[in-house]
Every structure is written in structure tokens, then in C-alpha cells.
Amino acid sequence: MSTPVRGKRISIPQIRGRKGGDPLVCLTAYTTPMARQLDPHVDLLLVGDSLGMVLYGFGSTLPVTLEMMIAHGAAVVRGSERACVIVDMPFGSYEESPLQAFRSAARIMSETGASGVKLEGGAEMAETVRFLTQRGIPVCGHVGLMPQAVNLAGGFRATGRSEEEARRVMQDAQAVAEAGAFAVVVEGTLEPVAAAITAAVPVPTIGIGASPACDGQILVAEDVFGLFSDFKPRFVKRYAELGAQIAAAAAAYAEDVRARRFPAPEHCFLPKPAPRAGG
């Protein structure tokens, strides 16, 4: 598989340099068409393992494979020119050892053309983050609510509610930043705790269900655009209701087909008129 040719993308040092500056605009993308639409407007596109739930209908991110992440990561790189593209490392692809993580991350980098990887975990993953960054692989950390640890946590719930939880999330963010992460996603964390983390770590924080004080924000694009009409997390702001528009368009199409209004003559390949005799 060949690595896509890159244009002039926002670089990892540029992302890191936005600490305390203009907020980083980040969204998820899983496909080439979506990447093309989002690319002019964002600084970072995350190919999240949330694609397991958003695209494949899984109940969690746990069934997502490395091969799935590579396929979708390459699609997003092909569909973008400007944004920095980061690919999630899926469950089971990095936790065993730093060496396993390096092999998985090297595949992601070489087979997608992405600028870096993201992995979940705090202090316990600091050694792995250091191992990867020392070998040329940029790493974005992820602390707070960690979807890959949903079974251990007992479900999707905000963290930082107790002093112990707040202290642990802070220590996790500091550990991965000190290990070399260029940014840290802070998910599902009480606002004052996320704000304190942002003030404490030297790299950008990217919030999702966290704090406006974070150095950037990220959401799942399908949530933002209203493609899930039956569920909206508390931390999501809908900027469109495309799900309802798609349903209405599908209903109109079905009605036209059943009434034989579609296809109309202008949608058909018709024979050319025979030339007139003597013409």
C-alpha cells in the first residue's frame, strides 16, 4: 500500500505551538467525502475508533481492529489537504508493550500517511508514549473518560467528581505530557478539573465534554450535524439536523419511484433521432 502524497498540512509542531493561543478546531472523520467537507474548516481531523459505533453499529469501540483504523485513516488522508490527521490506536493494539505499540503505530503511519496517533491511558501508558515519541511517532494522549476502558469504569460516566478522581486525571495528563505527547484529549471530565489540567500541562488540551478553557475542542462530526436523531450527548451542540433531511429525501425518493415519477425522461439514456432522409 503506497503512502499518499502530502500537500502543505498543519504540522505537529504547529499543533503543539497553539498552547494558550487560538483554539484548535478538531472534528472526527472516517471517510474521504466527510474529510473533504471538513478539511477547509478544521485544524485537526481525528480518525477515531468511535467509527465502530458511528459507522459499524457496535455497542462500544472495543471490536474495532487495527486494519479498520488503517483503512479509514488512509481514506481521510486522501480526502484532506490542510488538516493534521491523527489516527486512533484501537483496543488491543498497544497495551501489551511499548514494542507492540510501536509496531502498530508504525503500520498506521506508513499505511495511512497520517501525521500521528492517539492512544488512551494516563500514567500507566507514559512509558509507551515515551517509547513511541523517541522513535519518531507523534502521540496525542487521551485521559479522563476513556471509552476503551468502559467495562472497567462501569459505563460512560464523567470523571473528576471526587478529589481522588480529579487528582488521578491531573496526574495522568501530566504524565503523558511529560512523556512527550504533543497534545492531550480530555474527555468527560468535570469543567473545573479540565480547566486546571489545561493550566497545568505544557501542551494543548483538546476538550470533549470538558471545559471551554481547553486549548481546543473536538466532537464527533455525526453528532454535530444531527445524523443521530435518537441520541445527543449533553456536551454536543447540534449545528444541523441532517438526519431528518436525509430521511425526508429518502421518503420523497421512495414516493417518486412507487408512483413511477422517477426516473423521468431526462434521467434516461434515449436513442438519438434517426437522421431524416435527404438530410
Cβ-Cβ contacts under 8 Å for 171 (sequence gap 6 or more): 122, 123
Concerning whether 191 is annotated as a catalytic residue, the answer is no
Catalytic residue among 124, 187, 191, 255: 187
What are the two backbone dihedrals, phi and then psi, of residue 86, each rounded to the nearest 5 degrees?
-120, 140
Determine if residue 118 is labeled as part of a ligand binding site.
yes
Q: What is the DSSP letter of 17?
A: T
d(CA 253, CA 262): 8
256: left (phi > 0), else alpha (psi -120 to 50), else beta?
Answer: alpha
Q: Among all chains, which residue has been given the C-alpha cell 449545528?
A: 239
Phi-psi region of 100 (alpha: psi -120 to 50; beta: other; left: phi over 0): alpha
| 272 annotated to bind ligand | no
| CA distance linking residue 260 with residue 207, whole number of Å | 50
8 is in an annotated binding site: no
In this structure, are strands 205-208 and 139-144 parallel, antiparallel, or unpaired? unpaired
* Pairwise CA distance, residues 54 & 224, whole Å: 13
Strand-strand pairing, 116-118 and 44-47:
unpaired
**Known binding positions for 3-methyl-2-oxobutanoate:** 49-50, 88, 118
Numbered residues of the known binding site: 49-50, 88, 118, 120
Q: Which residues does the annotation mark as catalytic?
A: 187
Residues of the binding site for Mg(2+): 49, 88, 120
